[in-house]
Amino acid sequence: MTAKVPRNFRLLEELEKGEKGLGAEACSYGLEDSEDLLMSNWNGTILGPPHSVHENRIYSVKMHCGDKYPDVPPTIQFVSQINLPCVNPRNGMVDPNQLPCLAQWKRENTMETVLIELRR
| pLDDT at residue 18, rounded to an integer | 86
| pLDDT at residue 40, rounded to an integer | 98
| pLDDT at residue 3, rounded to an integer | 77
- Cis peptide bond N-terminal to 89, omega within 30: no
Question: C-alpha angle 38/75/8, rounded to 5°?
Answer: 25
Its pTM surpasses 0.85: yes
Q: Amino acid identity of 85?
A: P
- Per-residue pLDDT tens listing for the chain (120 residues): 577 889 999 999 999 998 877 677 789 999 999 999 999 999 999 999 888 888 889 999 999 999 999 999 999 999 999 999 999 999 999 999 999 999 999 999 999 999 999 998
What backbone phi and psi angles, to 5 degrees, belong to 54?
A: -95, 0
Beta-strand ranges (E) seen in the chain are: 27-31, 41-47, 58-64, 75-78
Domain 7-119 classification at class level: alpha beta
